[in-house]
Amino acid sequence: MKVEKNQIDFENLPTHIAIIMDGNGRWAQKHNKTRTEGHEAGSKTLENLTKEMDTLGIQYVTVYAFSTENWKRPKAEVDFLMGLLRQYLKRHIRQAKRDNIKIRIIGDRSMLAKDIQKQITVLEEITENKTGLGLQIALNYGGRDEIIRSMQKIGEDLLHKKVMVEEINESLFEKYLDTALIPDPDLLIRTSGEIRLSNFLLWQLAYTELYFCEKYWPDFSMNDLYQAIYHFQQRKRRFGAL
């Protein structure tokens, strides 16, 4: 079923969309291209869609760009992805004055190269006061790793008596997550036909509506986004009610 833009209820948009951008390699294979060309195409799709989602009025988008497991890929591919990341960050630092997108990186930065960490800090500082789309990019991110890191932070605060055991609840725990102060996703989109979470936002996706698309990420378009939003808007969200 094809969904047109005018079928979307713009008064009922999801506040926060999470996206697992899957299928760059398979897209490249399908089109007789290299995996690096697939990642380049996927990066362009991300840039185009974030601009359009900002215009559409989506408040937050969180994308899965590089997982803690992705380090196991061939070194040449990892090196290319890090180079692509450097280009992405550099380009957005230049564009920050004219764009209204606030960019935030989530995940464990300690394994990223020092120059990349510096670029991330610069970009976050430049876009900190932007009022448009809040774009969270998950780099060296894993849901289990995030939960463990959050527990370690809580443990440190317990030792220093900044937190008492009886104060620990869901609300407090969420303040230690990478996504602190950001509402949980209303909608998760995963491309390429895979039907799993792959260690992405395991805490935050507890009540999120899930939408799986057969298209590979480089082929995912605004019309595909409209279709995902349309299906989201047809669902009755009960949050545990009968």
Active site residues: 22, 70
Q: Return the closest-CA partner of residue 191 out of 227, 215, 210, 223.
A: 215
Q: In the numeric block, which tokens belong to residue 178?
A: 């990478």
Burial 200-220 (b: 16+ CB within 10 A, else e): bbebbbeebbebbbeebbbbb
Residue found under tokens 């349309």: 230
Q: Which helix (H) or strand (E) holds 25?
A: helix 24-30
Kindly give, in sequence order, each residue whose CB lies less than 8 Å from that of residue 7, ignoring residues fewer than 6 positions away.
226, 230
Q: CA angle 78-84-86, nearest 5°?
A: 105
Question: For residues 174 and 202, what is the distance between their CA atoms, to the nearest angstrom?
Answer: 12
Q: How far apart are CA 242 and CA 88, in angstroms?
A: 45
DSSP-derived 3-state class of residue 159? helix
